[in-house]
Homo-oligomer: A and B are copies of this chain.
Amino acid sequence: MRCKDKSAVTNWSDQGVIHTSNSPHCRLHSVPIRAVQIDQGFWGLRMKANRERGIPRLLELLEEHGVVDNFRRLSGRKKVKRRGALFTDSDLYKWMEGAAFVLQSQGDPELRKTLEGIIDDVLAAQGEDGYLNTYFVDERAGERFQRLETDHEFYCCGHLIQAAVAYYRATGQTKFLDGARRFADYLITVFGPDKRQGKSGHPELEMAMVELYRTTGDRRYLDFAGFLLDQLGFTSLLGMEGHAVRAAYACCGAADYYAEIGDNSFGQTLERLWEDMVEGKIYITGGIGARHAGEAFGEPYELPNFRAYAETCAAIANIMWNWRMLLVTGEARFADLMERTLYNGFLAGVSLDGTRYFYVNPLASSFGVNVRAGDTGRQEWYGTTCCPTNVVRMFASLPGYFYSTSAEGIWIHLYDNSRLDWHLEGGQDVSLVQRTQYPWEESIEITVNPESSAHFALFLRIPGWCPKAKVVVNGAEVAKVPQPGNYLKLDRVWSPGDKVELEFSMPVTPVEAHPRLRENTRSVAVMRGPIVYCIEGVDNPDIPVLDVQLGVNPKSPERMFVHEFRPELLGGVTIVRARASMPTNQFRKPLYWPLQEHKPEPRREAQVTLIPYYAWANRGPSPMQVWILEKNS
């Protein structure tokens, strides 16, 4: 009851990407997207591309492929045949949620008008009973709810609810939200612990239902989320397995539910699954779901590079899950993984211009070497276009992931040029301004502006990747900075104009993998800051980039590398250069040969250039790899 009472007094626009202000089992509380402005900088550029190019182009494509017309057809507004797979409604909803996040950030009358036109089309297609799905109608009406494992009806409903909530938070208009609630209410009349059972094949509705509860205060939605999680058998899961997006969405829903309910069996399961994932089933990029077959998690250490699946949607799901874990616990390991996944596993899924996508994100590619059917590079559309629509909403929601509040003060999770205009949980207004060239440069300047001097804590994430962090407050160095992978708590009286200077050292760092990850034996991935690097053919003419070996000295690896910011390259990136050794072109080995016949192969040395992994495949077909052999391996 307490939850309900509290949420009722929250202003609709005071709610974040997820609304945890009243969640009793969250240590942190999200801030609204509108409270955060991402300025010119790393993410600002990408969000601009998303807003100006990605979102409009994707709507054109959704229209071209009949995804919107499927709704117009149902209401009789257009006489067309239904097109696309049975889950295409969700693609439109994700686009709508993304557009609504943009509207939470900034006024955009044209986008609002477009979005509201689509909302009108969607709602006009809704049935009398609240049911809304463009596939299970007409001759397929009898199939409604018949195959929950495969039909994506609950999944589409979840995305409808999320889009409606986002639009409500952008505008305060309840029409769309009311429509989504009608569908939710209808589901609740049909399914439930004492009604029909129903295990959805694609989790998603769980988190939507919790959010609908948070938004409306109606406890039935929370209970329904609990019912759905129970149907999944969530608390008896032992490890991350099966379809990666589905598994991680289930974890998002369970984390949301746990944040409200505090049932330890959920907390323990979430922790168990998270550890299982990070100990053996995640790429260095934060990508998850190694297997093509079933788009699934593999066995521990089954993380092929060329044959990585690492669906872009799965990276997004991983970010969303870690965000929820962070809000519940306030532990930096979740923010670290969120950051790693944002800069690498997620960002690789979209071209620099924001209009071409990868569904699958390999960590090595012979693209341009072995040309086969399917070597298409980034595409602006996929038959199953879940990833592009997920990308545009992820970008648009990004401001919501930078900052949080707790009873103790304000938390900074992500670093980039940005401005927070929000208030302490006690009520006092505070603004924060970050100025930085992160992730390319080591320094970040934060200006703290409470409306007047106030005692509160500022929590600053000391990134897990950072070997040496220096923090200066108003010119005085902070004596005790915690180990990387923790939050530094600056608990003091803050006055307007106070300055915090952060210096996160960013040596170029070769990283090794667990010995069971046999494909990476005697190999290193190169990182600098949160950025995972790769070697791509286009930067290295006449060099067989899949065969190079890096000379790595574990005692002073930084000496092996030089780095340089290249403003004109790939939208502005820091590149890394290294000496490498490679076989001469004449040499050709058989697939297997006896060790005693081993002869040293003729090799040559050259300088190679590495670029951020996320930026690969923006310049045509080119081989690429992240994990590079060490010399003399």
Instruction: Give the interface of A toward B (CB within 8 A).
Output: 241, 278-280, 282, 284, 291-293, 298-300, 302, 304-307, 366, 370, 372, 467, 509-525, 527, 546-547, 552, 554-557, 583, 589-596, 598, 627, 629, 633
Contacts and interface: CB of A to CB of B under 8 A. Distances in A.
Contact of A590 (B299, B514, B556): B514
Nearest to A300: B370
Contact of A595 (B293, B510, B517, B547): B510
A372 B241 contact: yes
A552 B595 CA distance: 9
A386 B524 CA distance: 42
A302 B519 CA distance: 11
Contacts of A519: 304, 518-519, 521
A556 B595 CA distance: 9
Contact of A525 (B509, B524, B592, B633): B592
Nearest to A280: B591
Given A366-B299, A516-B547, A511 B306 contact: no
Contact of A511 (B284, B467, B594): B594
13 contacts: A299-B366, A300-B366, A302-B306, A509-B596, A510-B595, A511-B594, A512-B594, A515-B583, A516-B546, A517-B591, A518-B521, A521-B523, A633-B633
A282 B591 contact: yes
A522 B525 contact: no
A595 B509 contact: yes
Contacts of A370: 299-300
Given A509-B596, A510-B595, A594-B509, A629 B515 contact: yes
Contact of A524 (B509, B523, B595): B595
Nearest to A465: B594
A513 B556 CA distance: 31
A284 B592 contact: yes
B306 A307 contact: no
Copies of this subunit? 2
Nearest to A366: B299
Nearest to A594: B509
Given A304-B307, A629-B521, A513 B595 contact: no
Closest 4 CB pairs of A and B: A521-B521, A510-B595, A292-B293, A519-B519
B512 A595 contact: yes
Contacts of A592: 284, 511-514, 525
A515 B555 contact: no
A557 B589 contact: no
Contact of A596 (B298, B547, B554): B554
A591 B554 contact: no
Contacts of A555: 596
Given A366-B299, A519-B519, A593 B293 contact: no
Contacts of A591: 278-280, 282, 513-514, 517
A307 B300 contact: no
A57 B485 CA distance: 60
A191 to B, nearest CB: 26
Contact of A593 (B282, B299, B512, B521): B512
A334 to B, nearest CB: 16
Nearest to A517: B591
A514 B589 contact: yes
A192 B594 CA distance: 49
A232 B284 CA distance: 42
Contacts of A629: 515, 518, 521
Among A300, A524, A547, A583, which residue has the most Cβ atoms of chain B within 10 A? A300
Contacts of A241: 372
A489 to B, nearest CB: 25
A589 B278 CA distance: 12
Nearest to A595: B510
Contacts of A583: 515
Contacts of A509: 594-596
Given A293-B292, A366-B299, A521-B629, A511 B593 contact: yes
Contact of A512 (B302, B304, B467, B598): B598
B516 A305 contact: no
A568 to B, nearest CB: 30
A274 to B, nearest CB: 13
Contacts of A305: 518
Contacts of A366: 299-300
A371 B517 CA distance: 18
